[in-house]
Amino acid sequence: MRKLLSYIVIAGNIVIAGLTCSLVSSCGIYSFSGTSIQPDVKTITIPYVEYTALRVNPSLSNDLTEALKEKYRKLTRLEEVDVDGDLELVCTVAGYDVKATAVTANEMASQNRLTVTVKVEFSNKKYPEDDVSSSYSAYEDFDATLSLDAVEAGLCETIVEKLVEDIFNATVAQW
C-alpha cells in the first residue's frame, strides 16, 4: 500500500510539472530566456551594422553584427532572414571616442575611456507598438600609459558584449 501511495505521489508531481510547462509555453510570449515575443512573430532581419563614427575601427561593425546575430539565435526561436523579417534590427555605430577621465596633478591623463555609441532602429512589422528607436553607449576605461592600439581589441570585446545585452533587452526582452 505504501509503495502504491508513493507511485501516486510521483505520478501526481509529474502531471503537475507537465501542466505547468504547458501553461507557460501556451502563452507564447514568455520564455525561460526572458524574451517577450508574440507567437506569430517568426523571423528577424539583422543587416550589417553600418559605421559612421569619425574615428575608425575596421572590425567593430563585423564584430557587433555577428554578436547580435548570435545573441538572437541563441536566446530566441526566431529564424534569421536576409530581408523582410517580422522584426528588423538596424544598427549604426555613430560614435567611437577616446577621452581622458582622470588627470594627475601634472595635468596629464592617468585614465582614458573608450566609448562606443550605437544608434538602433528596431521595428516589429506585426506589432508596431513594440518599435524602438534609441541610442546605446558602453565604455571601458584603460590606463593612459597604454596606447589604444595595445588595448583596443579587449576593450571592444567587452563593450560589444554590453551593447548587445542592452540592445537585446530593449528590443525583445523589453526591460
Cβ neighbors of 102 (< 8 A, separation 6 or more) are 109, 110, 111, 144
Q: How far apart are CA 146 and CA 159, in angstroms?
A: 18
All cell numbers assigned to 145: 600609459
Burial of residue 50 (number of CB atoms within 10 Å: 0-12, 13-18, 19+): middle
- pLDDT tens-digit map of 35-79: 779 999 999 999 999 999 999 999 999 999 999 999 999 999 999
pTM: 0.78
- pLDDT tens-digit map of 146-168: 999 999 999 999 999 999 999 99
